[in-house]
Amino acid sequence: MGRCGARATGGRGGQKRGLQTIFAGEVAAEIEAFVGAGAVDDGDFEALETDVRRTAMRLAARAVEQRFNADISDHAGPTTPCACGESARYAGRRAKGFESVLGTLRLERAYYHCEACGRGVCPRDRSLGLEGSSLSPAVTRMVGQVAAMVSFAEGSELLGELAGVAVDPKQVERTAERLGREITHDEASVVETAPASAPTMYLGMDGTGVPMRRSELAGRTGKQPDGSAKTREVKLVTVWSAEGRDPQGLPVRDPGSVSYSAAIESAATLDTDKELSPFAQRVEREARRRGFDHATRRVVLGDGAPWIWNLAEELFPGAIQIVDLYHAKGHLWDVAKAVYGAGTDLAEQWAKQRRDELDEGKIDAVLDALRAHAPTHEEARRCLGYVVHNQDRMRYPELRAHGLCVSSGVVEAGCKVAIGTRLKRAGMRWTVAGANAIIALRCSKLSDRFDDFWRRRSPATRDATRRAS
C-alpha cells in the first residue's frame, strides 16, 4: 500500500508542501479574526492562546482528514487476506471517527468483509496503527504515559486540560490495560542481555499487598480478624548499582541505575516442576537485562523472607546475600515492645543495646538476649529463629568494610514508587489482570523502557521484523 497522498502530490515532499500551503492559508485567515488590532491590549492573553490553538488544531485536523480521504491507495483489489486464513472481499469504503492529537478525524478506509469468520478488515487501520482502537497512535501513547502515573480519571482530566484531547476515564482504563498486556508480553519475549553497568550490582526482591475486588479473593486467607484477605501480594524485583558514596562513606544508589519488574504471581517452584515459577523467571529475565550475572560482585538483598533466599540460591549461587539491616532492627524493636511494653524506657534501652550489637557484629550477644525471653514471649521466639536462620547474612561490619550496601531501601522505595503510589490509593480495588497490566505499564515507564517498547510496537518495526525473519 502506498503512502497516503503520494499519488496526488508527487511524493512525501509534495504532500508536505501541499499541506503547508492549505494549512497556512486557512490558519492565517481564521486566526486574523482573533488577532486583530488591539488584541494585545485586551489583556486576556490566556483566552487568546486557547482560541488560536483550538482553531489551529481544528484546521490541521481538517487538512489531514481531507488528504487521507483523497487517497484510495489502500484499496488492495477485490480480496485481501483475513486473519482467519480465508479471503475477505472488498465492500466499499467505510468512515470511522478517530481521536487524534489534532482532534477528531473522520477517515474513510477500504473495507473488506470475510464471510468465513464474519469479521471486517481495513488494511489502512493496521498500517497506521489504528487497528482495534478509536484512538490515534499519538493519543494512545499519551494515555499510556498518564495512566502509568495517575488514576484513570486524573489521566482523562490531564489529557483534556493539557493536550485538548477528549478521552473518557473508561477508555483511558481500557487503553492502558491493553497497553499493559502488550508490555507484559513484550517483557517476557524480548530480553536483550547487557553487560554489567558497574563492578558491583545489587538485586533486591520484596512483596507488597494490593487491594483487590472480592471476586479475586474467594477462598484466600488473610490478615483480617475473620481470617479473610483484602489484598493479593505483588512480588517485585529491582536491580541497581551504588558506586557513589555519601559524606560518611556509605554506598549511595547511582542515579538512573534502578529498574523494576513486578506482578501478582507465584514465586514457589516445586522440585517436581519442569520450569521455574513465573516470578523466578521474571527475576532471571531482569538479571539478564541488567547484566547482573556479569558483575564482578553480585549482591542479593532482602528482608529475610525464606522465599527470597530460596530464589537467590536457585538463580544466583555464589552471590552475596544480605538481610536488610533496618528490617532486622525492626524485628528487635518488636521484641522490646512485647517484653517491656511500647513506649517504655526499658523497651527503648533494650532495643538500643540489641541494635548496637547488631551494628557491631555481635550476633552471639543478640542471640543470648533473645534466648533469655524466648521461653515466655512468642515474639522473642520468632525473632530468635529469624536471626539464627539469617545470621550469615547479618555480618554487617564485614560487609560495610567491603563497601557494600546493607540496606534494601531501594527495594522498599520500589514497592512504594512502582506499586503503592499508583495502585494502593483510597477506594482502589483491582482484578489480577487489571493490576498486572498497570504494574507492567508503570514498571516500563519507571525503568525507562517505554520508548523501546513503543518502537517495537510500531507497525513499521513489526513489518520490518517480519520481513527480516
Give the per-residue SS3 of the chain. CCCCCHHHHCCHHHHHHHHHHHHHHHHHHHHCCCCCCCCHHHCCHHHHHHHHHHHHHHHHHHHHHHHHHHCCCCCCCCEEECCCCCEEEEEEEEEEEEEECCEEEEEEEEEEECCCCCCEECHHHHHCCCCCCCECHHHHHHHHHHHHHCCHHHHHHHHHHHHCCCCCHHHHHHHHHHHHHHHHHHHHHCCCCCCCCCCEEEEEEEEEEEEECHHHCCCCECCCCCCECCEEEEEEEEEEECCEECCCCCEECCCCCCEEEEECCCCCCCCCCCCCCHHHHHHHHHHHHHCHHHCCEEEEEECCCHHHHHHHHHHCCCCEEEECHHHHHHHHHHHHHHHHCCCCHHHHHHHHHHHHHHHCCCHHHHHHHHHHHCCCCHHHHHHHHHHHHHHHHCCHHHHHHCCCCCCCHHHHHHHHHHHHHHHCCCCCCECHHHHHHHHHHHHHHHCCCHHHHHHHHCHHHHHHHHHHC
Segment among 27-36, 214-223, 389-398, 410-419 with least mean pLDDT: 27-36
> 10 pLDDT band (50/70/90 cuts)?
very low
C-alpha cell at 373: 525471653
Digit-coded pLDDT (tens) for 50-83: 888 888 888 889 989 999 999 999 998 999 999 8
Distance CA 105, CA 133 (A): 13
Contacts of residue 353, defined as CB under 8 A and 6 or more positions apart, other chains included, come to: 369
Higher pLDDT, 2 or 331: 331
Half-sphere exposure of 379 (CA within 13 A, CB side): 12
- Tell which residue, 149, 77, 154, 138, has the closest CA to residue 105: 138
Strand order in the sheet with 120-121: 79-81, 87-100, 103-113, 120-121
C-alpha cell at 306: 525464606
- Mean pLDDT computed over every residue of the chain: 89
Digit-coded pLDDT (tens) for 296-311: 999 999 998 999 999 9
Distance CA 296, CA 190 (A): 25
Q: Give strand pairing partners of 206.
A: 236
> 27 pLDDT band (50/70/90 cuts)?
low
At residue 47, the pLDDT reads: 81
> 174 pLDDT band (50/70/90 cuts)?
very high
Digit-coded pLDDT (tens) for 325-361: 999 999 999 999 999 999 999 999 999 999 999 999 9
Instruction: Please check whether residue 350 is in contact with residue 340, taking contact to mean a CB–CB distance below 8 angstroms.
Output: yes
**Domain spans of the chain, in order of start:** 6-32+46-69, 327-393
Distance CA 276, CA 188 (A): 14
What are the b/e assignments for 448-460, b being 16+ CB within 10 Å?
Answer: ebbeebbeebeee
Give CA separation, 212 vs 155, 237, 313, in Å. Answer: 21, 21, 32
Give CA separation, 238 vs 280, 414, 417, in Å. Answer: 13, 7, 12
What separation, in Å, do the N-terminal and C-terminal C-alpha atoms of the chain show?
A: 21
Distance CA 159, CA 209 (A): 30
- Tell which residue, 191, 205, 152, has the closest CA to residue 437: 152
pLDDT at 6 over 80: no
Cα 316 from chain centroid (whole Å): 25
Digit-coded pLDDT (tens) for 119-128: 999 999 988 9
Cα 159 from chain centroid (whole Å): 19
Average pLDDT for residues 264-276, to the nearest whole number?
86
